Structure 1
Amino acid sequence: MATKTAEKVAALFENYSEVIEPEESIVEGKIPLWLNVSLLRNGPGMFNIGEYKYKHWFDGLAYMQRFGFANGKMTYSARYLQSDTYKINMAANRICVNEFGTFGYSDPCKSVLGKLSTFFTADQLSDNASVNFMALGDTVWAATETPHLLQVDPKSLETLNKTDISKIISLNTFTAHQQYDSEGNLYHIGSKFGKQTEYIFAVTKNPKNNKSPPPEDNQFAETSVIGTLTATDDPCYNHSFAMTENYIILFETPLRISILSLLTRSIRGLSFRECMYWKNDVPVFIRILDKRSGKEVSELKFRHEPFFSFHQANAYEKEGCIIMDYCQIKKAGDLEQFELENLRDNGLQKTEKDGIAFCSRLVIPLEVDLTKGDVKEGDDIIKGKSFAKGCKAVLKGKNEIWLEQENLSDIGFEFPRYNMAYNLKPYKYIYGSTLLGSNDNFYGLIKMDVESREVKTWSRDHQLQIAAEPVFVPNPTGSDEDDGVVLAPIVNFKENDAPFVVVLDAKTFTEIARCKIGQRLPLGFHAQYYNN
């Protein structure tokens, strides 16, 4: 039987209403007058269609929220993404299109929808772009883990255009998180399934840097493949990746996708998640692609004890090494824990430590010459490097280097964000949410100094609040890395207690304002800000 807390949490997974006209929030405290941005947040907002229910948290129809900051005020609005998936499902009043964890009922819908159903066949993928937003030049796009991207207006939240990356380069999946270089070029990874699955590393050139801009209906025209890597065996599930100035780093974790299950999923009625499994007793293979050559750094084979990572933070190069920070879960299983039945019945109860994400660091040595014989088996190659601290890189066999990560804090840590002016460069500060961590305390948001390992926290008012992803916005006249504010929606499932957006001084990590909203807020996933 569900606990009273679980019953209240279950309300977070009920359908949400649109808020077309922006509503002004009640501000307690003072919002800096320089803060003039639109914070866009994406995530599932419709979990039931007619009598049909989605099975997994990741499946609900995309619900976009805008938190508009200007003149010391904040307004709130929200709309559903007008994807083809949304239109088909709403017209049929049932779930027709397959999602991450829900197998759709496509055949009955065809008779209901006629020509509208031709948007999808059994082999096509959902365009329910419910995970993230990305910027390409002056345009903003909603993204999920399929090649379908939908352009949105960051002020009105109207759905504008659509593109299909798989019609430009050949791939089946597409990471929901992207990386940017200093010129605003957009990097992404996809998977191309087959007898030998390939990971596709690609870049989309920033159209603002082109002498001849791409056509308005194809902003992604300047997309090209940098290189490909063959999967070790069954491919891994990738949600994001890390990048430095010269390298792209992919974690090939034990969370794998069964190609056999994918091939038979239509006959067996399997969702994508049900084609995934945790492959016991295999390490993480750290695959590194050189962006300059398009080839894998293959002289050395990097391994780590098993873990899974949804989200990577910053990474950079130093003294012949890659330093990268990320959130790791020791054992993620097949993500069954995020099925809606489990969340509704059990709530967000204390998770076993192996299922909690922690902010961690790896140091990966690239400039290692094994031909000289001065590095022997069992040697820690990065021993003595001042920045290695608790990290290790031990030679085993001829060319295998087993890495040991360092947990930067013992507090649960997810949704890592940092000052993007320091992207791909040495940096000091990273911000995160405890999310599904321990409820032994009220920690909600975290600021970490990755050099000193000092941690500052902002605490929730009570256990019936969840701090969503924090976003750092720099002060345009600031000079220090942490000159700015951190914005984070605080989801509330306590009766008669309004949800709000907290505004923190990023330097002191103290609350300077909270903006109370007269609407229910969903948990959601990821947010990006855009200057007004």
Structure 2
Amino acid sequence: MSVILPAASTSSPLGSSTPTPTPARGRWRGFLSGAREIDDAALQVQGRLPDWLRGGLLLNGPALWDLPRGSYRHWFDGLAMLHRIEFAPEAAPRYRSRFARSQDYLESIAAGAPAYSAFDTRDPETLLQRLRHFGKPRSTDNPAVVMSRVGAQWIATTESPHLLAFDPLSLASEGRLEFDDGLGIQIMGAHGITDAEGNYWNVGITLGPKCIYKLFRLRPGGHRRELVGSVRVAKAGYTHAFAMTPGHALIWETALRAQPLGFLFTGRSYIENFRWDPAHGSVLHAVSLADGSVRSWDIPPMLAFHPVQAYQDGADLVAELCCFDDAGIIDALQLTRLRAGEPLGQMPRLRRYRLRQGHGEALVEDFGGGLDLPQVHPERFGRARAGICWGSGLDAAGASRFFDRTLRLDLERREQRSWQRPDAIQLEPLFVPRPGGTEEDDGVLLVPTLADADDTTRIGVVDAHSMECLALVQAPQVIPFGFHAAWAG
């Protein structure tokens, strides 16, 4: 696996020349630029941390939306910052943060404005400049969404086919991984899956008159993505993630469908190259890991970012997904709306899709609304059926303006417990199992939160069974709202 090192790092870009971002108050400050790179800071703890909790909480997400000569439009657009909170026995937790030195970051900081097209920010290149790479459009490598591993190598990703390597201790960027396989992937799911052997799996899409989903595996130390199976469709759906069982990869073809010519020949933003197409419904595809064969089931039109899990149940395959009934969530997450504290107005719904042999349509079971950014025990995801999940929650009756609680859901009994800080936003809860624990919920949740009265971010340390908050860890700054976390034990 070859690594291309970036140019020498620059200093933190925020300074007196940076314009003041759109005002925001209270909990909505998490959508503002302003986070600093901090090398090492001791953190204050209110409450008691478990004696067994040792390792690093890694956080990823956009942190810089406003540059001197231009700004980004959408929550998903901002330049990525990585954070680490180190937990050690008999010592205060410690914090550091670093901007990811992607090529996009380096060029955007140098230009003082966005240098690449982003999720909802258009390409700044002129038509003549785009013609220089005709048919092979540039894509951002700003890795502001997910952190994964290829063997022991940590990587950060977005929805482009680029993997940015980084050191999980120092958070220093180590360059982009480069491949010589010729898979021809233009876009890719942000959520890859690392199996027990350290192989990295993901789904990329090749755009054209017909679009092709390509399930691939990248082995530790390798530089060739191995094609395991493919699905040819008229227009690929927006693909943020996929799910796995021990024998299959499950790919959901959402009703938000790609317009391939837009990607290839225009300067539109990433999401402007999709159209909501409910008339053709949605589809769930199961790709066999053994031989690449594909089976497909029709489902009602939907948009889904995240799976809870997938598993085999007798002869059936089952996928549990957090779904939206339309694409309205995309516009709801624009920065102007979020910074103003406007109600989200969109409700994710947990649905169980049962894929039966000999049937062309899936059976759909609705669990109700209010949960996304889901987690299950890491030893269950992709390997065995989980009975408990956790996630960020909304009031199902519509009273929440944004994710404001942490939920625990028993997937069989449908019993729900929650933890909620008053007047706060609560993001994805990362489940950390207790070493030696035998119960599925024996561990803690680490939950980034920001309340109206907080001066900086608080990380909730929550008992994953009782949902009792054991401690709050105070960060040295407001950590801009990101999406996903990882545990580096």
Assess same fold via TM > 0.5.
Answer: yes
State the secondary structure of the residue aligned to 2:261. helix
RMSD: 2.6
Residue equivalent to 2:390: 431
| Counterpart check, 1:191 vs 2:205 | yes
What is the TM-score normalised by the length of structure 1? 0.81
- Alignment of 1:311 with 2:306, yes or no, is yes
Aligned residues: 462
Q: 8 Å contact 1:134–1:140 — kept in the other structure?
A: yes
2:145 — aligned with what? 131
Matched, 1:359 2:350: yes
Q: Deviations over 1:37-68 (max 9, x none)?
A: 11111111110111201111111101111121
Structure showing greater Rg: 1
In structure 1, give the amino acid aligned to 2:116: V
Report the counterpart of residue 234 of structure 1 in structure 2.
235
Read off the aligned partner of 2:422 and give its amino acid letter: D
Tell me what 1:403 maps to: 363
Asked whether the 8 Å contact 2:59–2:83 carries over to 1, the reply is yes
**2:481 is matched with which residue?**
523
The residue aligned with 1:337 is 332
* Cα 1:109/1:467, change in 2 over 3 Å: farther
CA displacement at 1:329 relative to structure 2: 1.0
Q: Which residue of 2 aligns with 1:32?
A: 50
Q: CA 1:334/1:406 → structure 2, altered by over 3 Å: closer, same or farther?
A: closer
User: Match for 2:102 among 79, 83, 106?
Assistant: 83
Equivalent-residue separation in structure 2 for 1:198 and 1:109 (angstroms): 29
2:35–2:479 Cα contact (<8 Å) kept: no
Q: SS of the counterpart of 1:90?
A: helix
CA distance in structure 1 between the partners assigned to 2:363 and 2:279 by the alignment: 16
Name the CA shift for 1:257/1:24 in 2 (closer, same or farther; >3 Å).
same
Q: What SS class does the counterpart of residue 306 from structure 1 fall into?
A: coil
User: Is residue 323 of structure 2 the alignment partner of residue 328 of structure 1?
Assistant: yes
Identity of aligned residues (%): 27
Matching of residue 177 in structure 1 with residue 191 in structure 2: yes
CA shift for structure 1 position 414:
0.8
Matches within 5 A, 1:343-492: 343-345=338-340, 347-351=341-345, 355-366=346-357, 368=358, 400-407=360-367, 410-423=368-381, 424-434=383-393, 438-439=398-399, 444-462=405-423, 465-492=424-451
- Structure 2 SS opposite 1:281: helix
Equivalent residues of 1:194, 1:259 under 8 A apart: yes
Quick one: structure 1 residues 405 and 18, their matched pair in 2 at CA, closer, same or farther if it must change by over 3 Å?
same
Measure the CA separation in 2 of the matches of 1:341 and 1:496: 22
Aligned in 2, Cα 1:87/1:131: closer, same or farther, shift over 3 Å? same
Matched, 1:223 2:262: no
- Partner in structure 2 of residue 373 of structure 1: none
Residue 87 of structure 2 is aligned with which of 69, 72, 84? 69
User: 2:173 matched to which residue of 1?
Assistant: 159
Q: Would the aligned equivalents of 1:419 and 1:481 in 2 still touch at CA under 8 Å?
A: yes
Contact 1:284/1:307 (<8 A) preserved: yes
Pairing 1:150–2:111 present: no
Indicate if the aligned counterparts of 2:241 and 2:305 stay in contact, CA closer than 8 A. Answer: yes
Q: Distance in 2 between matches of 1:236 and 1:167?
A: 24
What's the CA shift for 1:349?
A: 1.1
Report if the CA contact (8 A) 2:102-2:175 is conserved.
Answer: no
In the TM superposition, residue 170 of structure 1 has moved relative to its aligned partner by 2.2
- More divergent stretch after superposition (97-106 vs 244-253): 97-106
Distance of 2:413 and 2:276 partners within structure 1: 35
**Gapped runs of 5+ residues in structure 2?**
1-21
Quote the offset at 1:497 in angstroms: 4.2
Q: Match for residue 76 of structure 2?
A: 58
Q: Is the 8 A contact 1:350 1:439 kept in 2?
A: no
**Partner Cα distance (1:490, 1:496) in 2:** 9
Distance in 2 between residues matched to 1:249 and 1:143, nearest whole Å: 20
Q: Structure 1's 262 and 161: CA in aligned 2 closer, same or farther, altered over 3 A?
A: closer
Distance 1:350 1:239, change over 3 A: closer
Q: SS of the counterpart of 1:124?
A: coil
Q: 1:202 aligns with which of 216, 236, 244?
A: 216
Partner SS for 2:98? strand
CA contact (8 A) 1:468 1:491 kept: no
Structure number with the higher helix fraction is 1
Q: Which of 92, 108, 122 is the aligned partner of 2:111?
A: 92
Q: Residues 406 and 436 (structure 1 numbering): CA distance in 2 closer, same or farther, change over 3 Å?
A: closer
Alignment match, 2:6 = none
SS of corresponding position for 1:183: coil
- The amino acid of 1:480's aligned partner reads E
Q: Distance in 2 between matches of 1:109 and 1:477?
A: 60
What SS does structure 2 have at the residue aligned with 1:88?
helix
How far apart are the structure 1 equivalents of 2:254 and 2:352? 16
- Are the aligned partners of 1:435 and 1:467 in contact in 2 as well (CA < 8 Å)? no
Q: CA deviation at 1:402?
A: 4.2
Q: Secondary structure at the match of 2:30?
A: helix
The residue type paired with residue 40 of structure 1 is L
- Cα distance, 1:155–1:79 mapped onto 2, change above 3 Å: same
- Aligned-partner Cα distance in 2 for 1:356–1:256: 21
2:291 paired residue number: 293
Cα shift at 1:222? 4.7
- Give yes or no for the alignment of 1:514 onto 2:482: no
* Distance of 2:36 and 2:440 partners within structure 1: 37
Deviations 1:104-155 (A, max 9, x none): 3235999xxxxxxx99998221111111100111111011111111111111
* Partner SS state of residue 260, structure 1: helix
Secondary structure of the structure 2 residue equivalent to 1:401: coil
* 1:334 CA displacement: 7.5
Residue 260 of structure 1 aligns with which residue? 261
Matched residues in 2 for 1:434 and 1:134: separation? 24
